[in-house]
Structure 1
Amino acid sequence: MGLAGFAIAVVAAAAARSRGAGDLPVLLALAGAGFVTAAAVRPEFRADAPGYYAYLRSIVFDHDLDFANEWARWGFPALPLTATGRPPNLYPIGPALFWSPFFAVAHLYVLVTHWLGLRPWTPNGYDRPYLNALAAGSVGAVTAGGYALARSMAGYLALRQASMIVLGVILTSSIAYYTFVVPGMAHALTFSATCFVVWAWREAERAPTLRSWSLLGVSVGLVALMRWQGVLVGLLPAALAVHQLRQRAVRPAWIAAAAGLGVLAFLPQILAWKLLFGRWLTMPQGSGYVDWSSPHLVNVLFSAERGFFDWTPLMLAGTLGLLLLSGPMPIFAGASLAVIAATAWVNGGVRDWEASDAFAARRFDVAIPLVAWGLAALARAATGVLRRRPWTAVAAVLAAFALWNAGLIRLYRTRVFTDAAPLERLAGAQAHQIYRLFDAAASHLGPRARGFVYDVMVGEYFYYNVNPSGTIDVGAVDSPWLAEGWSGPERREGWPPFRWALYPRACVRVPLQGPSALRSFIRLRAPGRLPDQSVRIVCNGAPVGTVAVATEWTDVPFTLPAERLVPGDNVLCFEFGRSLPGEADGSYAAAVARVQLP
């Protein structure tokens, strides 16, 4: 769906531009492609997303800022009431205000379909259309912000080249995740607002006027409204103000107007804090939330646990690329590096510096538009060296890093990596995903094609170069032949080392050079509460047989017929008939110590 949407977007954009319709049809087409991509990805409403959204639902449906019912609905623990007697909300109000038009459209849709009986949605603010509205808003914001960022590069790169850089920085950073996977957090909107700051900065630099400085001030205020740490982007206009005041290119009254408009844009947050906490300005997480000595300054940049440059390595190249702008754009380059450094300093002092349940260094959202300029400088320098199709080479590099980032997003969503992502393991996991992709494609061509892919990309075979005994030691700490459906290794007195096979199935891998009948057995026992447990043995999707499982350790024999096996990777699954009473998928179905092939 996402690829189809992108293709439609490209065709629509080309047709619109050929008719001289300007850039608006292109933007609408790209936004449409983004919506389709988000729908295909299936956005998740998790992590901090409820905290941002709670403002919108509470104001519209409850006409207050009492979040007790929202927290209860989403299963959040009750926190102590604030000085004003209300449940606290630690998150900014800005994203909710931005999403409100999209929320209104979703609410109208729910009302109409509910009245006509066409959909099961209830107009309560909790059902899926309301949450999808957040995705639509975030995708739209990133599209508009990306366009503004590309336009800011006018005079430095052609619009097509700038658009390539901007798309590349989105797809190779955490912004891709927070636009399409968890769009209900503030990071996509903060990125977008920062893009407008960069555009407004360039306008104020080229032609300083009351209008251009006012736009710059409002943009900075909106960044802070989306996420108050974004106030650090104010270092950009501060540096420009000092420079232009020295050059007598700007009036002090214009700068004062910009500052006033920035505060005015941030006013909704000030009012929300006053209503919730009784203070105009506050740190909702508490005064000890930030250690201003920044003990984790290096970690937030260089660490396998979500370091900015570790998880998204192209961001390091872009940050260094800003140094190339120190000649043609010294004020912007210096201020941009200052914003990145300040962001790292603040994040290094936050109590949860690794950002808890997060993909990559999500709190560097304000830095990523600045990194885009660094990448633009690198690309321009590289194209001066490359003679033939220089921008094709730039596109290839961006695409490679985008694929790496997409693979990491998938590994994060499937919980392969949740905290640290050591490079050695990450590279192996990425390579395994590439193999699985080729394997899935080869599966449409038959067993020979799959065997060829396995031989080229893996080449490990039982009885040949690995596992000559055919023993799969399920209870071992490191058991490389296990697939889905297993617990961690366990030890019990009087039991062999084992793992729990999880209901409904647990699988192992059996790589073979060629098929032949294999007389085998599995050593297992059922939990005491499942005296009538059974297991169906399935080889490459085909049933082999069903046997009963005793509540004592037993070797259950079975034979894998040659006609069910293929050259390369074979998947042997054990599908269990029952789960523990009162439990569903993921409960313990049987303890398994060994799978023994001949």
Structure 2
Amino acid sequence: MFKGLIKTTTRSHLLLFTLIFFFSALFFLKSRILGDPFSYYAWVRSAFFDHNFNFYNEYTTFNIDKNWTAIAWPKELAYTKIGLLNNPFSIGPAIFWTPFVILAFILTSLINILFTILRLPILPNGGYSFYYHFLVSFGNYFLGAIGIFLIYLILTRYFSKSISLLSTFGIAFGSSVFNYLYNEPTSSHVTSIFIISLFYFLFLNLKKNRLRHWLLLGVIGGLIFLVRWQQIIFILPAGWQLARDCQLKNILAFSLGFIPICSLQFLAWYAISGSFFYIPQGSEFVSLTGFLQGTPPNFIKILFSANHGLFYWTPVVMFALLGLIILSLQKVTLARWGLLILILSLIINSNLSDIHGGFSFSARRFTEDSLFLAIGLAGFLEWFKTNLFRMSFILVFSIWNVLLVLQYAAYKIPGWGYLVFPDWVKNQFTAWTHLPYFIGHSALGSNMYYFLKGKGVSFLIFDFIIVLSYLLGLVLFYKLGRNLTKLGNPG
């Protein structure tokens, strides 16, 4: 029975992904630009509305505890040497969010015409109102969903469709990905999943003897750097192939795409600081001496600590790493690259002044390693004899993780600090009671709540736009997925 079920779902894998991401968005996807993402958002909001990179109005408007903007920092870090407020975050997410900001501006303008006719209060159209939060959240979620589907397509090159499917969903629902996809959808980690998965999908499928393909890979590699600077390590396989083949025309084509895109970050730094080379978090954010002194103990803390330890919070990752090691020993090239990049990520993350990632779910800075973790998890699942055991394994760890996210979203476990044992384990068995809270704080649920509370018909209109957006996203996801499937030709 289970074998037949797996075959049925894999024959319509794209439809399955489409429906899961559509219906889960209806119930779970939140609509908010909160915490670190607001500083990412400040880049596009300031450029689009103010035509500058002076973040004073953005930071003062949203300077609340949960946004942690630079205005709350010590003065020597809050302001740059040319007197502008600092922005400690990269510009990459803002570039990806720009189309959604433009759509939000147009939609808010049109809705305000309707609200004027209906004599409803019009919405401020300066980048802070509902549709900006919603479309940036949904847009980033959409990119993340495409990235997860790309992970699945990459896995089908090495594993059966059933294992690829289970492994992809195992990482999507059993790791920190679930939290950052639904609970904190404007996280740069979600954008990272998309751009890194796209890079590897094209790297594996494009012909390497065509200059335009290397140019495209260079552009996408530059975007990987722009989204999160430390992610430059993810382009190592492309760099290795270029060095090995030693084809000058290919190196030039890649560089022609990579360097101009990367330069956008240096230009942005120059605009706010007067310097092209700049460490916005301060010189002590990265501890160079930590490579010799702090790395070994920090490895243990990052992986096993109750304070956001990767294995402690999301144990499925431990099995994924084991599978990645096994595949590397079996000389699977992509697994070897994945293991190397995961080790480099561990070294980098262990030498930051804030090794736990601040207010976060699990060790959030490993979320961008999702492709390689999915490969490792697929390798681990191959050791199971039947699909029943594989499905049971993924289901158990996914449910456990979702329950922990429900606790986290309801502030029953600390975003800062340690999981308190055994309390957090006991609370896992009642965490399902927080599901109404989670759904009620989704984009759809929160507006429906306000409408039912008699706050106005405008909230019902908001929900109508939300459902319409999800339906349009469903159609676009399916069409893009179909084209990507043809390109990947997973068979």
State TM-score, norm by structure 1: 0.63
Change (3 A) 1:101 1:181: same
Long gaps (5+) in structure 1:
1-13, 439-598
Change (3 A) 1:218 1:38: farther
Query: Residues 280-359 of structure 1 correspond to what in structure 2 (within 5 A)?
Result: 280-292=276-288, 293-294=290-291, 295=294, 296-359=298-361
Query: Residues 143-542 of structure 1 correspond to what in structure 2 (within 5 A)?
Result: 143-203=145-205, 209-241=210-242, 245=244, 248=245, 251-292=247-288, 293-294=290-291, 295=294, 296-382=298-384, 386=385, 390-418=386-414, 419-433=417-431
Amino acid at match of 2:224: V
Structure-2 separation of matches of 1:371 and 1:377: 10
Match of 2:85 among 76, 87, 94: 87
Q: CA deviation at 1:330?
A: 4.0
Q: CA deviation at 1:329?
A: 4.2
Greater RCO structure (CA 8 Å; 6+ sep): 2
Deviation per residue, 1:507-562 (Å, 9 max, x gap): xxxxxxxxxxxxxxxxxxxxxxxxxxxxxxxxxxxxxxxxxxxxxxxxxxxxxxxx
Structure-1 separation of matches of 2:42 and 2:360: 20
Match of 2:40 among 52, 62, 66: 52
Q: Kindly indicate whether the alpha-carbon contact (under 8 Å) linking 2:105 and 2:125 is maintained by their aligned counterparts in 1.
A: yes
User: By percentage of residues, which structure has more helix?
Assistant: 2
**Alignment-derived partner of residue 32 in structure 1:** 22
- SS of residue paired to 1:420: coil
Long gaps (5+) in structure 2:
1-7, 64-68, 436-491
Q: CA deviation at 1:142?
A: 1.2
**Alignment-derived partner of residue 106 in structure 1:** 104
Structure with bigger gyration radius: 1
Q: CA deviation at 1:373?
A: 0.5
Q: CA deviation at 1:310?
A: 1.2
Structure-1 separation of matches of 2:241 and 2:404: 38
Structure-1 separation of matches of 2:403 and 2:209: 44
Q: CA deviation at 1:103?
A: 1.9
User: 1:97 aligned to 2:99?
Assistant: no
Q: Kindly indicate whether the alpha-carbon contact (under 8 Å) linking 1:38 and 1:135 is maintained by their aligned counterparts in 2.
A: no
Q: Kindly indicate whether the alpha-carbon contact (under 8 Å) linking 2:46 and 2:52 is maintained by their aligned counterparts in 1.
A: yes
Match of 1:133 among 132, 135, 159: 135
Residues paired across the two proteins, number: 406
Structure-2 separation of matches of 1:208 and 1:149: 24
**Alignment-derived partner of residue 63 in structure 1:** 51
Change (3 A) 1:333 1:348: same
Amino acid at match of 1:356: G
Structure-2 separation of matches of 1:201 and 1:162: 19
- SS of residue paired to 1:135: helix
Greater Cα shift, 332-341 or 213-222? 213-222
Structure-2 separation of matches of 1:423 and 1:406: 18
Q: CA deviation at 1:303?
A: 0.9
Change (3 A) 1:437 1:128: closer
Q: CA deviation at 1:402?
A: 1.2
Structure-1 separation of matches of 2:388 and 2:104: 41
Q: Percent identity?
A: 25
- SS of residue paired to 1:138: helix
Deviation per residue, 1:357-380 (Å, 9 max, x gap): 111111112222111110111122
State TM-score, norm by structure 2: 0.76
User: By percentage of residues, which structure has more strand?
Assistant: 1
Change (3 A) 1:437 1:415: closer
